[in-house]
Structure 1
Amino acid sequence: MKLANIFLILIYVYNIVSVLILIFVKRSDTRVIFAWLIVFLFLPYIGFIFYFLIGSKYKMRVMSKKYGMSEIEEKHNKALDKQIYDISADKIKFKEIETEKFRDLIILNSKNAMSYFTQNNNVELLISAQENFSHIFEDIKNATKSVEVLYYIFRAKDNVGKEFISLLIDKANQGVKVTLIYDGIGSLHTHMRDFKGLKKAGGHVYRFLPSIVRSVLLVNYRLHRKLVIVDGKIAYTGGINVGDEYFGLKKINKPWRDTTIRLTGDSVLSLQTRFWTDLVFLQNQNFRKKKKAKFMVDEKVLNSFYSPIEEGNLGVQILSSGPSSRNDTIKDAYVKMITSAKKYLYIQTPYFVPDKTILESLRLAAACGVDVRIMLPGIPDKKPIYAITLLNVAKLLNDGVKVYLHSGFLHAKTIVIDDQVSTVGTANIDIRSFSLNYETNAFIYNNEFAIKCRDIFLDDIKDCTIFNAEIYSKRGLWKKVYESIWRFIAPIA
């Protein structure tokens, strides 16, 4: 037998093995399995290569274990285990009586996402890039110890990027410890040389993933978090990245509507720990030898888990998820929020490509009389995903779910229920955010803050048009074909 034939047979066997693993070992969502089976069917000799590059999450779990920093997580988990016991045993008194109704959600997030529940927080809602960066830049100017920045998109050549870097250089020159992380795929046109001045001033800059080879092999995984932490006391997270488009300065998706939050109090330490863990993951990969990065963690800071900061009275949990997570933690929390809603459920998301669990949860919530409303962009940035988004929400219209299309590009990722619980963060309602991206969301248990989220949603409706079954039925034949094609690809896109 010729060598070429043997090679083709081996490749085909690898394809069969990949299919068997996908079906019997991975136990993935059936839509994901079906999408990959189509890939293997039409690309029988190279399908397994695509699966290795963008389908399997096993390699990310191995890397997280190899390059992680167990010391940070062990100290965090020790405090968390005690808190889970205290909450389950009814030993923790909630500052708001209504929070008691969501004890099961808090316990779920604690166990599922290893998320510490704190009650001494203030959270400020910011609904534009102008408002967001005005606060961030002011806080950075007042920084005395450290500034830690992590963005999926950091456009260093845009006006806001230049201003951001200039400010970080000033702080680094003042002796403030400055650390910046950006995602290499999200910030495709940003390069290390753009931060030359910052590094010269003593700042530290890291790219996810640092190795070009790993960036190719792990191209499907994105560090989609957005974090700014100042002096370990103030933190920001939400949907806004560093780029001029977030100010509505680019015609293609103007106007731009987004949401972030500014946090102070105990919850900042959870975000600080998240940043440290991501930082160590990248630091360790920079060492060619089998030598882990020497990353010192201040014991006094970690001990503050046991010593609450008297900052405010809002309950907050910080949830993180990613391809190395055991469960789709943020998705699970979303499902629990949906099923917990009794009066209303308001959702803002730029992309809506959920799995069957979320679709059924929304359908059942509406069937139970819950006022379910979903707000989406009226101007898409990714037409294939937008087509699938409209297809998915169209399935819910006959169940009583109300859908609104914003006049511009809506990039906010928020959910609020019953004037009691809300979440603001980086995760979209799609399979990519739930399973493939590294995300961070804040879950806030507070009546006053939830009402603010509710009122902003209702105010945003003024800039929306209603999307209904009649409008959707008028789409042309080409759009129907287009949707059908992308419907199969969406679960792995």
Structure 2
Amino acid sequence: MNLSTIVLILIYAFNIISVLTLIFVKRSDTRVIFAWLLVFFFLPYVGVILYFLFGNKYRMRVMSKKYGMNEIEEKHNKALDKQIHDIARNKIQFKEVETEKYIDLITLNSKNAMSYFTQNNNVELLISAEQNFSRMFEDIKNATKSIEVLYYIFKAKDNVGSEFLSILIEKASKGVEVTLIYDTIGSLHTHKSEFNGLKEAGGHVYRFLPSLLKSFMFVNYRLHRKIVIVDGEIAYTGGINVGDEYFGLKKINKPWRDTNIRLTGNSVLSLQTRFWTDLVFLQNQSFRKKNKAKLMFDEKLLKSMYTPIEEGNLGVQIISSGPSTKNDTIKDGYVKMITSAKKYLYIQTPYFIPDKTILESLRLAAACGVDVRIMLPGIPDKKSIYAVSLLNVSRLLECGVKVYLHSGFLHAKTLVIDDHVSTVGTANIDIRSFSLNYEVNVFIYNNDFAIKCRDTFLNDVKDCTIFDIETYAKRGLWEKAYESIWRFIAPIA
């Protein structure tokens, strides 16, 4: 038996083992299994490499545990367990009576996502890059202690990126502790030398992942979060990255519609803990900086997280997810919101590649008489994913779900139900966001804020066209073939 024959046998053996692992060990979604079967069948040699790079989350879970903060998580869990116990025994006084109806959603997020529920918050809705960066830059300029920045995309040479960096450099030179994290793949065209000015001013800059080898080995797992924390008192998150296209300056996807939020109150500390956990994960991969960030986590700080701040009266939970989490926590929260809706459910998302659970939940909600509406972009940025998104929503049209296509590129990621519960964050309604990317969403329990989200959606409808069965039926033969091919690949794309 020659060498080439042995290699061929080993490749096919690995392919078979990979499929058996997906079916019997991981028990993956059947669409994911089928997609990988197609890859292994048509690309047996390349399939081995693709699965190693894209299909195995176990390596990322091991690495997250190795470089994580087990001690801090244990302390956090003790405080969380007490709150869950208090909720179960009706020991928590809700600031809004309406919130009591969603105690099961709060409990799910607490247990499933280790999310602490806080009620002393204010949340401001920001529906454009202009609003977001104007407000954010003002807060950053007033910072006196610390500025923590995390972005999936940070285009340092763009107008907004250049201005952002200039402000950070100025604050760092005046003694403010500035820390910036960006994703290597998302910011692929941003060279690390572009942050030299910030480093020279005393700022700290980290890439996800810090090693180019690890970036290649874990290329399918992206730090898709967007977080900015100012002085530990003000936080920003949502769909907006740092780039001029978010201002609608590129004709190809103009106008650009996006959503961010500004938070104050106890929830800021929860979001800051999320940032620090990501920072520790990166720092612990460097021998020289190992355990440095853990010094920030002492018992006094942990206790301060759960000491009420007299700021506002909005209930908030910070939900994180990623390839290192056991469950798809944000997806689970979405499903619970969908099944909890009694009157209406409004969704905005740039991509719609849900699994069967979400599709069935939406279908059942509409069948129960809930006013279900989904808004997608009218101008796509990824034509292949867009074709599958339209195919997926078309299946819901017969159930009574209303679908709208925005006049430009819609990048907002929002859900709102029944004038009380809403969520704004970084997660799209697709398998990548639910399972492969590191994401963060804010679940908000408040009548006034939910109504703002509802009214924003209804106002956006004015800039939309209705997507109905007749419109979808008019697509050509090539479009039908194109979407049919991509719907098999979408679960692993």
The equivalent residue for 1:74 is 74
CA distance in 2, matches of 1:384, 1:288: 44
CA distance in 1, matches of 2:44, 2:241: 39
The equivalent residue for 2:294 is 295
Match of 1:427, SS state, is: coil
The equivalent residue for 1:485 is 485
Q: Please show how residues 20-35 of structure 1 align to structure 2 within 5 Å.
A: 20-35=20-35
- 1:287 to partner: Cα distance: 2.1
CA distance in 1, matches of 2:145, 2:447: 34
Larger deviation: 65-74 or 328-337?
Answer: 65-74
Answer yes or no: is the 8 Å Cα contact 2:350–2:410 preserved in 1.
Answer: yes
Match of 1:45, SS state, is: helix
Matching residue's letter, 1:97 = V
Answer yes or no: is the 8 Å Cα contact 2:145–2:177 preserved in 1.
Answer: yes
Distance 1:277 1:294, change over 3 A: closer
CA distance in 2, matches of 1:403, 1:13: 45
Larger deviation: 10-19 or 98-107?
Answer: 10-19
1:249 is the counterpart of 2:249? yes
Matching residue's letter, 2:340 = S
1:149 is the counterpart of 2:117? no
Larger deviation: 298-307 or 276-285?
Answer: 298-307
- 1:7 to partner: Cα distance: 2.0
Q: Please show how residues 78-477 of structure 1 align to structure 2 within 5 Å.
A: 78-287=78-287, 292-293=291-292, 295-296=294-295, 297-477=297-477
Answer yes or no: is the 8 Å Cα contact 1:67–1:292 preserved in 2.
Answer: no
Superposition TM-score, scaled by structure 2 size: 0.98
Match of 1:214, SS state, is: helix
Distance 1:131 1:294, change over 3 A: closer
* Structure 2 gap segments, 5+ residues each: none
CA distance in 1, matches of 2:463, 2:302: 45
Q: Deviations over 1:275-317 (max 9, x none)?
A: 000000011112289x544531254332113311111000000
CA distance in 1, matches of 2:7, 2:325: 35
Q: Please show how residues 6-21 of structure 1 align to structure 2 within 5 Å.
A: 6-21=6-21
Answer yes or no: is the 8 Å Cα contact 2:422–2:453 preserved in 1.
Answer: yes
- 1:240 to partner: Cα distance: 0.3
Q: Deviations over 1:152-173 (max 9, x none)?
A: 0000010000000000000001
Answer yes or no: is the 8 Å Cα contact 1:182–1:207 preserved in 2.
Answer: yes
- 1:41 to partner: Cα distance: 0.8
CA distance in 2, matches of 1:149, 1:409: 25
- 1:235 to partner: Cα distance: 0.3
Answer yes or no: is the 8 Å Cα contact 1:120–1:310 preserved in 2.
Answer: yes
Answer yes or no: is the 8 Å Cα contact 1:319–1:330 preserved in 2.
Answer: yes
CA distance in 2, matches of 1:3, 1:482: 40
Q: Deviations over 1:437-493 (max 9, x none)?
A: 000000000000000000000000000000000000000000000000001000000
Answer yes or no: is the 8 Å Cα contact 2:279–2:293 preserved in 1.
Answer: no
Answer yes or no: is the 8 Å Cα contact 1:72–1:277 preserved in 2.
Answer: no
CA distance in 2, matches of 1:372, 1:364: 10
- Misfit runs of 4+, over 6 Å: none
- 1:92 to partner: Cα distance: 0.3
CA distance in 1, matches of 2:459, 2:95: 29
Superposition TM-score, scaled by structure 1 size: 0.98
CA distance in 2, matches of 1:392, 1:286: 43
Q: Deviations over 1:184-219 (max 9, x none)?
A: 000011121000100000000000011010111111
Larger deviation: 448-457 or 305-314?
Answer: 305-314
CA distance in 2, matches of 1:189, 1:305: 37
Aligned length: 492
Answer yes or no: is the 8 Å Cα contact 1:35–1:489 preserved in 2.
Answer: yes
CA RMSD across the alignment: 1.0
The equivalent residue for 2:63 is 63
Answer yes or no: is the 8 Å Cα contact 1:72–1:273 preserved in 2.
Answer: no
CA distance in 2, matches of 1:196, 1:306: 37
Matching residue's letter, 1:163 = E
The equivalent residue for 2:38 is 38
Matching residue's letter, 2:294 = F
Matching residue's letter, 1:121 = N
CA distance in 2, matches of 1:333, 1:455: 22
CA distance in 2, matches of 1:236, 1:298: 24
Matching residue's letter, 1:421 = V
- 1:69 to partner: Cα distance: 1.6
CA distance in 2, matches of 1:69, 1:456: 39
Answer yes or no: is the 8 Å Cα contact 1:353–1:389 preserved in 2.
Answer: yes
CA distance in 2, matches of 1:438, 1:105: 21
Distance 1:294 1:340, change over 3 A: closer
Answer yes or no: is the 8 Å Cα contact 2:423–2:441 preserved in 1.
Answer: yes
Answer yes or no: is the 8 Å Cα contact 2:266–2:306 preserved in 1.
Answer: no
CA distance in 1, matches of 2:89, 2:288: 47
- 1:4 to partner: Cα distance: 2.2
